[in-house]
Structure 1
Amino acid sequence: MRPILLSGHERSLTQIRFNRDGDLLFSVSKDKIVCAWWSANGERLGTYNGHQGAVWTVDVSPNTVLLATGSADNTTGECVKVWDFPTAVKRVAFSPDGSKLLAVTEKRMGFLGTIVVLDINYGENLEDQAAEPSLKITCEDSKATVAGWSFLAKYIIAAHEDGSVSQYDPKTGDQLLNVQVHEFDSQINDIQFSPDRTSLLTASKDKSAKLLSVRDLNILKTYPADTPLNSASITPKKDYVILGGGQAAMDVTTTSARQGKFEARFYHKIFEDEIGRVRGHFGPLNTIDVHPAGTAYASGGEDGYVRIHHFDKSYFDFMYEVEREQMRK
């Protein structure tokens, strides 16, 4: 599984995203630049400029027509429209049908953290977007760090700084559920959904990832690690999850990748056992995303590099020992 190394950023990566077809990969970092790459060979397709601060988040519409980014300059936009907010935008996410875009804003400077929903227009004039959000959810108890959409956009699911996960009604903004999923005050850094969006995976500072049911936020599986986790993704085709993280630079006293634990960790989704690790980054893994077809995954690190790993045939042929036993029976 030889990686393709993408060098296009000068500072640490904050988020990477495949488009729905998987032929493109978008990356953002603290250097204000948004890059687009061909995922098959790592060739850079182009860059998007415009933000004046670190870019924290990126998402691409299901039809790959619009690209949304959120930045520390307190704006979000898709190349054709800019929305201004009082604080940094830490996560953006299109709804499954692309008709709505949510943005998570930071709690700072006297402003409470919010989740705002924007209606998206795909008409002839893409610049003609609504100026104001159609919904605003204020997170009064604990700020939301990340958020996304469930199946058919039935719920907005948000993860919080205090380690809890909430379920919101996307029409009224009412909080339907709030569950303490991780240790109290252990910030959740990422949530990603299964392909059918009926379950989601969290990544937390408490050194664990949790698989949750979207319907009732019930904890289905737990994946313990030995380092704080920044990102976690569910693989299609194979029953695996991929976790990424690493110790903060101030806590690492050696440049050894093993000491820093800068590895992508593969766990069996059902049996919760760790089955392998992939090294390569020279700093914490900040973001992971899996190709929609399950044929590859990409990671972005504190070292400023993006790595794309296309899975070998042996990856698909591999069977966990328990699976072998079940096959024999």
Structure 2
Amino acid sequence: MRPILLQGHERSLTQIKFNPEGDLLFSCSKDHVINVWFAHNGERLGTYDGHNGTVWSIDVDSQSRFMISGSADNTLRLWSIQDGKCLYKWEFPTAVKRVAFSEDDEQIVCVTEQRMGYQGAIRVFNINRDGDGTDQPKEPTSFFNPIGSKAVVCAFAQTPNLIITGHESGKIALFDAKTGDEVLNNERAHMDVVTDLQLSTDRSYFITSSKDKTARIHDTRTLMVIKTFTTETPLNSAALAPLKPYVLLGGGQDAMSVTTTSLRQGKFETRFWHKIFEEEVGRVKGHFGPVNTIAVSPRGDCYASGGEDGFVRVHHFDESYFRAKPYGDLEIED
């Protein structure tokens, strides 16, 4: 798999995201810029300029019409994907760490940082999809502060009006988006901060990664841990490969302790694990620093990783990947 190296950021990557068709790849970074690329050849299509702080998180709606971004400049922004215009801007007292669209694109959720006397908060906004998208409600439809450990990642669950959150303590919880009540939680989902949360295509299960060196697959309804993948390095990101029983994990020691270890020791690889058997099946090297974010194309034909080194690497899977029989001779029907 010869990677395509995308050089469009000057600082470390914070999140990368494919659009639902899998033909566009969005990347955001600490250099305040959001880029969009063609996934098949790595050509840069454009940039979304406007933030003046680290862009922590981005998400794209199911029609590839709108994108949302959350940044350290304390704003949440709505963008037109087609022409790169910022359509609307919400301002908060603290940084926006994570953003996500609901399945029907009607709502967005964002997590804001706990800082300077402000509690960490979760806000849900309705999105007005009529017209050009510039007419948006200023106030959130719901706003609540999770009690206890602060939320760091979030997403809409498969049941309407439920939000999944991952917390600094390693807890995973389900909140009612309307009332802000905690419906269910798993306090011991991880032993350390949850660094990433990605849903399966049908949202019936999701994978989380954590600094406790594990990634886990959970059932969305019960929050039960279904599978655990244990590594020897803190993980920053975990993704599910569609159409194949693989999970992709990325991480590495933080940049502070990297200088004291060799590249081999730093474990800066993307690691493939078998989703069912919980066994590692392969590694892909390449980054010169921790892998901060991983995304797999919804088509299942390629994946991308973004590193602390400021590069995005896009790998298109070889023929052998599609020919491999991960279940032995058993044929799995979609």
Corresponding residue of 2:209: 203
Corresponding residue of 1:261: 267
Corresponding residue of 1:99: 106
Q: Deviations over 1:62-115 (max 9, x none)?
A: 111111010000001112000001100000000011100111100110111111
CA contact under 8 A between 1:96 and 1:152: conserved in structure 2?
A: no
- Partners of 1:34 and 1:208 in 2: how far apart? 29
Q: Is 1:131 the counterpart of 2:138 in the alignment?
A: yes
- Partners of 2:146 and 2:62 in 1: how far apart? 28
Aligned residues: 324
Matched AA of 2:310: G
- Partners of 2:32 and 2:197 in 1: how far apart? 23
Match of 1:272 among 265, 270, 278: 278
- Partners of 1:69 and 1:230 in 2: how far apart? 19
Matched AA of 1:83: W
Matched AA of 1:242: L
Matched AA of 2:307: G
The 3-state SS of whatever aligns with 2:36 is strand
Q: Is 1:296 the counterpart of 2:302 in the alignment?
A: yes
Matched AA of 2:17: R
Give the TM-score normalised by structure 1.
Answer: 0.96
Corresponding residue of 1:227: 233
Specify every segment of 5 or more residues in structure 1 that has no aligned partner in the other structure, as ranges. Answer: none
Structure 1 residue 171, shift from structure 2 partner? 2.4
Matched AA of 1:55: V
Give the fraction of aligned pairs with identical amino acids, expressed as a percent: 54
Corresponding residue of 2:292: 286
Structure 1 residue 183, shift from structure 2 partner? 4.3
Give the alignment's Cα RMSD to 1 decimal.
1.3
Query: Which range moves more in the overlay, 244-253 or 283-292?
Result: 244-253
Structure 1 segments, 4+ long, off by >6 Å, are: none
Corresponding residue of 2:63: 63
Q: Deviations over 1:178-222 (max 9, x none)?
A: 1024444x1001000111100010100000001000000000000
The 3-state SS of whatever aligns with 2:328 is helix
Please show how residues 1-329 of structure 1 align to structure 2 within 5 Å. Answer: 1-78=1-78, 79-184=86-191, 186-254=192-260, 256-320=262-326, 323-324=327-328, 326=330
CA contact under 8 A between 2:207 and 2:215: conserved in structure 1?
A: yes
Corresponding residue of 2:83: none
CA contact under 8 A between 1:257 and 1:281: conserved in structure 2?
A: no
- Partners of 1:271 and 1:200 in 2: how far apart? 17
Structure 1 residue 318, shift from structure 2 partner? 1.3
- Partners of 1:119 and 1:16 in 2: how far apart? 24
The 3-state SS of whatever aligns with 1:247 is coil
CA contact under 8 A between 1:182 and 1:206: conserved in structure 2?
A: no
Structure 1 residue 325, shift from structure 2 partner? 6.0
Q: Deviations over 1:107-150 (max 9, x none)?
A: 11011111100100111141100000001121220110000012
Specify every segment of 5 or more residues in structure 2 that has no aligned partner in the other structure, as ranges. Answer: 79-85
Structure 1 residue 319, shift from structure 2 partner? 2.1
CA contact under 8 A between 1:213 and 1:219: conserved in structure 2?
A: yes
- Partners of 2:329 and 2:63 in 1: how far apart? 42
CA contact under 8 A between 2:161 and 2:178: conserved in structure 1?
A: no
CA contact under 8 A between 2:248 and 2:270: conserved in structure 1?
A: yes
